[in-house]
């Protein structure tokens, strides 16, 4: 039962003010593999290397490794294909996204140690990095006679007078005659039920992203110990539209079928901004081995949501069509995301090859929602019960085959945030790329293939929908040093 609730809410946002739930906390806490093309091509295993502008959002000590001023930026092109298996029927949805995932400027100030002492480097950086992309389309369609969303609406309405029905769901069904009173004002019936044969479809269109604007500082001690700090100002925007449709009803006596089809739509828009602090160090154990460590404080977000829903019905009698729309719900609340800890180790071999590994630890059960107008006690208990600590592991390598040309490859595993057997939302990334240096200019390319599997429940009582998502990404970066 807990497993069903955990993902049902993800698709029924906007039903009430309680739409701000544990699913929101998880969505806005998660991050995926984003950065410059060099960073991504090595699987994001850059915590002990530095000298890459994307590292400011991961291990800020990396900014202290720079010895030249630098300006860089990237372009990203993504194709996402999602396969949904529902009632033994497979459906597919695709979408493509182009974006600018990062723009970065680094000011490197290297001084003569004989004049300033052992702390001879003071670097500064500003820019922005994409941390998460929310774009995904999901579609499923099947013929079945086992359950119906109308049953959920009917059961929720029973015992409640029509003037007290939920304005975002049951009241819409009442206004469009998907349910109606029988006998008294708190007893209802529906012209359809889950045992009727029907065609049922569901679609979800999600869009938006989470980006971080930052200011970063770094210094170095004897060119051996590198320290850095980043103040991050993340912003996010998320939109989701879901549609449940049922049509082509049939039963043993089709003459009794009153409804031809109905459709229920929900809409959610969320935006917010926050602040966090990242601290990091990189230490050269010798000329070939480097250790990195970074600590990310929780991000404090202030979030704003708008949500609304609508329902339409089309009855068999020609002209009997009804439509009802909810009012616009607006809500402000706050979110504290989990902290993150990163340990990194890299090996530089004859200045021609690099092998690097990052280990990230975070605990999603530590996320917390709060508001001046609503008690999130139950929601925060859900967060503690549904989510757990997890680890992200990143591996990467680089081989310089020519003084100006390098080849790269990597692998990243992002652990599932769910506790126990509620769900498996882990992700895997396979990456490869190349880099070209021409004088003070550099050009990098990365190819990313990521795979994820998870179960989705479109409403309480519906069986699990198996989702398999494959993402292909081309990332291009360019910059110059001066």
Instruction: Examine the pLDDT at 6 and tell me if it is beyond 80.
Output: no
Instruction: Examine the pLDDT at 8 and tell me if it is beyond 50.
Output: no
Confidence of residue 425 (pLDDT cuts 50, 70, 90): confident
Which of 114-118, 128-132, 151-155, 370-374 comes out lowest in average pLDDT? 114-118
Instruction: Examine the pLDDT at 14 and tell me if it is beyond 60.
Output: no
Confidence of residue 9 (pLDDT cuts 50, 70, 90): very low
pLDDT (average), residues 7-29:
61
Q: What is the pLDDT of residues 340-360, one digit of tens each?
A: 999 999 999 998 999 999 999
Confidence of residue 115 (pLDDT cuts 50, 70, 90): confident
pLDDT (average), residues 235-243:
98
- For position 257, what pLDDT does the model report? 83
Q: What is the pLDDT of residues 447-467, one digit of tens each?
A: 999 988 888 999 988 999 999
- For position 183, what pLDDT does the model report? 84
- For position 4, what pLDDT does the model report? 28
Q: What is the pLDDT of residues 283-304, one digit of tens each?
A: 999 999 999 999 999 999 999 9
Q: What is the pLDDT of residues 312-326, one digit of tens each?
A: 999 987 678 999 999
Instruction: Examine the pLDDT at 144 and tell me if it is beyond 50.
Output: yes
pLDDT (average), residues 9-29:
64
- For position 13, what pLDDT does the model report? 33
Instruction: Examine the pLDDT at 204 and tell me if it is beyond 50.
Output: yes
Instruction: Examine the pLDDT at 12 and tell me if it is beyond 60.
Output: no
Q: What is the pLDDT of residues 40-53, one digit of tens each?
A: 999 999 999 999 98
- 190 token code pair: 């529906």
Instruction: Examine the pLDDT at 69 and tell me if it is beyond 60.
Output: yes
Instruction: Examine the pLDDT at 440 and tell me if it is beyond 50.
Output: yes
Confidence of residue 19 (pLDDT cuts 50, 70, 90): low
């Amino acid at each position: 039962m807990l497993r069903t609730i955990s993902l049902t809410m993800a698709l029924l946002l906007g039903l009430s003010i309680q739409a701000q739930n544990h699913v929101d906390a998880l969505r806005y806490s998660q991050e995926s593999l984003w950065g410059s093309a060099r960073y991504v091509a090595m699987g994001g295993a850059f915590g002990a290397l530095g000298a890459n502008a994307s590292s400011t959002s991961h291990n800020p000590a990396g900014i202290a490794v720079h010895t030249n001023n630098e300006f860089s930026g990237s372009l990203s092109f993504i194709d996402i294909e999602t396969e949904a298996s529902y009632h033994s029927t497979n459906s597919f949805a695709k979408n493509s996204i182009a974006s600018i995932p990062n723009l970065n400027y680094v000011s490197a100030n290297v001084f003569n140690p004989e004049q300033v002492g052992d702390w001879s480097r003071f670097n500064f950086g500003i820019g922005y990095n994409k941390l998460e992309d929310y774009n995904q389309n999901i579609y499923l369609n099947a013929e079945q006679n086992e359950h119906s969303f109308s049953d959920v609406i009917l059961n929720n309405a029973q015992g409640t007078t029509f003037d007290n029905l939920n304005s975002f769901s049951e009241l819409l069904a009442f206004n469009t005659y998907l349910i109606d009173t029988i006998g008294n004002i708190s007893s209802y019936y529906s012209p359809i039920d889950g045992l009727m044969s029907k065609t049922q479809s569901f679609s979800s269109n999600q869009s938006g992203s989470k980006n971080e604007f930052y200011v970063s500082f770094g210094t170095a001690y004897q060119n051996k110990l590198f320290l850095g700090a980043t103040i991050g100002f993340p912003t996010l925007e998320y939109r989701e539209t879901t549609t449940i449709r049922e049509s082509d009803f049939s039963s043993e006596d089709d003459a009794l079928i009153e409804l031809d089809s109905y459709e229920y739509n929900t809409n959610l828009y969320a935006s917010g901004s926050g602040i966090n602090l990242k601290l990091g160090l990189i230490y050269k154990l010798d000329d070939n081995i480097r250790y990195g460590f970074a600590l990310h404080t929780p991000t404090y977000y202030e979030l704003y949501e708008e949500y609304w829903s609508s329902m339409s019905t089309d009855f068999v009698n020609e002209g009997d069509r009804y439509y009802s729309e909810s009012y616009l719900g607006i809500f402000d609340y706050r979110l504290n995301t989990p902290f993150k800890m990163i340990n990194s180790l890299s090996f530089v071999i004859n200045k021609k090859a690099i092998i690097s590994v990052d280990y990230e630890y975070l605990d999603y059960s530590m996320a917390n929602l709060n508001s001046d107008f609503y008690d999130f006690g139950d929601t925060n208990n859900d967060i503690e019960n549904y989510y757990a600590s997890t680890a992200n592991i990143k591996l990467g390598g680089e081989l310089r085959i020519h003084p100006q040309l390098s080849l790269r490859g990597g692998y990243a595993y992002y652990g599932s945030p769910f506790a126990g057997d509620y769900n498996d939302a882990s992700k895997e990334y396979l990456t490869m790329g190349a880099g070209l240096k021409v004088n003070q200019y550099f050009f990098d390319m990365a190819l990313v293939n990521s795979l994820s599997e998870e179960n989705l429940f479109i409403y309480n009582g519906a069986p699990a929908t198996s989702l398999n998502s494959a993402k292909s990404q081309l990332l291009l970066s360019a910059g110059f040093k001066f």
